[in-house]
Structure 1
Amino acid sequence: MSSDALVADQTDHPGEPVAVTAAGALPWRINKDQLEVLLIHRPRYDDWSWPKGKIDAGETIPECAVREIQEEIGLTAQLGIPLPPIHYHVASGLKVVHYWAVRVNGARLLPDGKEVDSVMWCSPAKAATLLSNPSDVVPLEFIQAAHDRGELNTWPLVVLRHAKAKPRSSWTKAEGERPLAATGLRQAQAVGRLLHTWKPLRVVTSPWLRCVATVMPYANAAGAKVKLAEALTEHRHARNPKKTAAVIEALFDKQRAVVVCTHRPALPTVMDQLAKHMPPALSALLPSSEPYLSPGEVVVCHVAPGSKNRIVAVEQFKPFDD
């Protein structure tokens, strides 16, 4: 499932411009082998809903979701699978709220007391009866179905194209030493903020400078372990694309969140390898034509753990461009 596709899927409001964009999450846990979800109570409206809020200037939609979860219930979240957004009208026009599943592993929740004065863990069936906005049931039903299919508890595999580099035409030294442009350096900072929404603690990257410079702001801030892989460079990929594909395949082995950074010429091989882990309908959402990804853009594959290493959801995002 692509969040971009979901954004465009305004079934009830085709072609109507979005006036308000918001984002949030459905926190979930397994309690005594049963799925539970977290509802919040907002005293201002005296309603039960999901943690969410409007996007701020200078942030992407995933960043908005993570920030709102932190502000409203004190949860430092790692976004899971994307859920169907909901659309409804407010005074200013059509509002869209994007949701993700977020697993809560025993973290203490601290409602802010102002926007949220209490929270409640309950079964999806009970949540459906308590939700004040009927449209909030849509992502709830999706999260229940994903749980039933074994596709709710996932880890993210993030593919990143390096940020904008100095032009080849103006660089006379070794290609591996070509640095980021000034805009690319700013973009790398934005990439770092975006990657924090999935919190991968493994980074696998081409050792060429422009890739390393793209991932290091995030790696330094998150304390992520960085591994250099020669097979992800342009030259090694041109000589032996099978080794590039092998690097991607090896990412599935540890079944832990990871980001891999490479170059545009290697992306067709990367996408082909990822497609082997997903059904055709889902692989059709992967980028399939040049340039595949723009500088600094990411594809996020959500992988259900197990022997098959199934990719069950796909998203694509650009960092905020100033």
Structure 2
Amino acid sequence: MEYFLLFLLLVLPILLSVIRSKRRRKPGNLPPGPAGLPLIGIFHQVVATPLHEYFCQLSKEYGPLMYLKLGSRPVLVATSSRTAEEILKTQDLAFCSRPAMLSLRKLSYEGFDIAFAPYSEYWREMRKVCVLHLLSATRVRSFRPIREDEASRLVQQLSELAARAETINMNEHITFFTSTIISRVAFGKRYEHGSGESKAFYQIIREFQGMMSGFFFTDYFPWLGWLDKVLGKIDELERVYKKWDLFYQELLDEHLRPDRPKSMDGDVVDILLQLRKDGSFDLPLNHIKAVLMNVYFASTDTIATTVIWALTALIKNPSALKKKEDIDTDISPGLTMHKKNPLFLVAKKFV
């Protein structure tokens, strides 16, 4: 009897889904794309090949705009700059709201951040906060000493390691570099590389990233959503959420103390708390926490990934690297990117 009930739980939702899909009329104006298999779409192909390589192969057959299915979720893929511009600029109102994925909803406090909030009056208000108070030209210039200090520290570290002919994990160093800048700018705190506090902090960062990019049945196979609970994925998501919620709350409490460090004056948390105190914007504490999630992760991951890919592309193209070595480009006082700069020496050694 137990096995029969388990069989019904597994098979009945699938049969119902097949019946519903057959009853639906497929729109006739969709872009071309691979047909995929019933229920799972092209999942079996996506997991077998790196995603960017797979889409590159598909674009040669179906063109720069493709329609495909990942489980029950329809996906539109743009593979050319012109098509991407049309979607992100010309038709931005139609595409600006992101899909409500399970982990994104939870970790963004149900979409009360900026990156994952649906287009609405709330999103427009939070964008105004960013443009006028967090990312204005004056504010960005005020953080320049922090950027220069961390860049100098990074160059010094890489120079010393390269001089000792040690193997260098560029991903680790670049990620630490970007995350430290954002930590100082946003939180007014600096974690020393290799310290116990630093290791604990980067451990919860990895857990957060794992949840954000993790697979949940609920997102692609709603009829199998109960498996997320059975497999412990919901509990793991809740655990990571509570860790970060506690981290944000401790930051807010530190900034509200009268004896807080001077480094916290004028950072992102301080600005948001001041706006809340002044009544300039309606900013409940959970909304501030959601924005802090964007400020940290949207900056750290994207910048580090871009730099690593740029280094990788230079390494794989020695002629371009050679041309780059011969160009003097000032990035800040005291830091000049030329052929004697340790970053280029390390990039060449990294080959």
Structure holding more helix per residue? 2
Structure holding more strand per residue? 1
- Taking structure 1 as the reference length, the TM-score comes to 0.25
Structure exhibiting the larger radius of gyration computed from Cα positions = 2
- Taking structure 2 as the reference length, the TM-score comes to 0.23
